[in-house]
């Protein structure tokens, strides 16, 4: 098993390798990070796709035991990181201070027979998940308040089209709508939708919830319900790309013309 890390230019360089496993976790034993491969080992293997190693302020590190999986989410701004271990049925995360040994705020992801998350306990919230016959997430709800939930709809191409919010009284209070532009652009490193990790407190980067979309979203509409016909919120997304088609910069613009920009970085196309 090899340890794969990303670090900045002011710290020691650690080699990265492999390809992040797609939406499943099937290892039979807990991963324990070990030393990274040397250059000759790495060059002797077949090149694989780049890994996302930086998303805005978040730095990502990976580890592999037959496949590459997320090991750490590091936030230098808070001086904290969350590290993950894997078994065939559970993914476990703990928060630590950078350079420290103590752990706190555990998060747990319990997997079904297909490696998808069927229950999570994270950020003080316990949620359950339901999937359709195509393995797409259709519902996420609070375990102790099942009416409080979000539901996911998909278009004819299989890409996420709507997310509807329901309160504990079963009232539909909000709807997000997703469109992808024409022509659509491939999303080579899809992440969990913002609505999912805001609602359930799960990781943005753990691919345990099926595939939401293979395309880059262009516009997200945000409508309060019941709708009275008034104008509703919207975000427009623009992208710049690396030469091989990976998103380099995400620019999100609100209806009031205010905007934010997020930079992404990737490992070289190394091998596992």
CATH for 127: 2.40.160
The verdict on residue 225 lying in a domain is: yes
Over residues 25-50, the mean pLDDT reads 41
The verdict on residue 91 lying in a domain is: yes
Inform me whether the pLDDT recorded for 187 exceeds 80.
Answer: yes
Tokens of 114: 């297909």
Q: Among 43-57, 116-130, 185-199, which stretch is predicted with the lowest mean pLDDT?
A: 43-57
The verdict on residue 13 lying in a domain is: yes
Question: Residues 110-120, buried b or exposed e (16+ Cβ, 10 A)?
Answer: bbeeebbbbeb
Q: How many domains does the structure of the chain reveal? A: 1
Inform me whether the pLDDT recorded for 267 exceeds 70.
Answer: yes
Please report, rounded to a whole number, the percentage of residues in the chain having pLDDT higher than 90.
73
- Give residue 230's pLDDT: 78
Q: Among 27-41, 62-76, 184-198, 216-230, which stretch is predicted with the lowest mean pLDDT?
A: 27-41
Inform me whether the pLDDT recorded for 146 exceeds 80.
Answer: yes
Residue 200 exposure: Cα atoms within 13 Å on the Cβ side: 31
Q: Tell me: the pLDDT tens digits for 157-180?
A: 999 999 999 999 999 999 999 999
Q: Tell me: the pLDDT tens digits for 256-265?
A: 899 999 999 9
Tokens of 205: 């980067």
The verdict on residue 16 lying in a domain is: yes
What range defines the domain where residue 256 resides?
2-266
The verdict on residue 69 lying in a domain is: yes
Q: Tell me: the pLDDT tens digits for 89-123?
A: 999 999 999 988 899 999 999 999 999 999 999 99
The verdict on residue 272 lying in a domain is: no
The verdict on residue 192 lying in a domain is: yes
Please report, rounded to a whole number, the percentage of residues in the chain having pLDDT higher than 70.
81
Contact 94, 88 (CB under 8 A): no
- Give residue 255's pLDDT: 87
User: Cis ω on the peptide bond leading into residue 160 (within 30° of 0)?
Assistant: no
141 DSSP β-pair partners: 128, 149
Inform me whether the pLDDT recorded for 254 exceeds 90.
Answer: yes
Give dist(CA 110, CA 105) in Å, integer: 17
């Amino acid at each position: 098993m090899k340890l794969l890390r990303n670090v900045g230019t002011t710290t020691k360089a650690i080699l990265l390798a492999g390809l992040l496993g797609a939406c499943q976790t099937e290892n039979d034993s807990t991963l324990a990070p070990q030393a990274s491969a040397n250059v000759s080992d790495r060059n002797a293997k077949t090149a694989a796709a780049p890994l996302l190693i930086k998303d805005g302020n978040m730095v990502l590190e990976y580890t592999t035991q037959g496949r590459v999986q997320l090991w750490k989410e590091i936030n230098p701004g808070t001086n904290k990181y969350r590290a993950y271990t894997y078994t065939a049925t559970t993914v476990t995360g703990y928060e630590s201070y950078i350079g420290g040994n103590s752990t706190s705020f555990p998060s747990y992801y319990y997997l079904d027979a297909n490696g998808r998350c069927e229950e999570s306990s994270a950020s003080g919230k316990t949620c359950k998940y339901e999937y359709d016959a195509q393995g797409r997430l259709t519902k996420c709800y609070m375990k102790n308040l099942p009416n409080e939930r979000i539901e996911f709809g998909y278009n004819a191409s299989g890409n996420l089209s709507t997310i509807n919010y329901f309160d504990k009284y079963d009232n539909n209070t909000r709807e997000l709508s997703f469109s992808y532009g024409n022509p659509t652009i491939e999303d080579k490193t899809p992440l969990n939708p913002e609505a999912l990790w805001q609602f359930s407190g799960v990781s943005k980067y753990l691919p345990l919830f099926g595939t939401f979309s293979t395309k880059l979203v262009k516009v997200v509409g945000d409508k309060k319900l019941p709708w009275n016909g008034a104008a509703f919120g919207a975000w427009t997304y623009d992208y710049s790309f690396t030469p091989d088609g990976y998103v380099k910069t995400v620019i999100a613009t609100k209806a009031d013309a205010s905007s934010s920009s997020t930079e992404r970085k990737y490992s070289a196309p190394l091998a596992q």
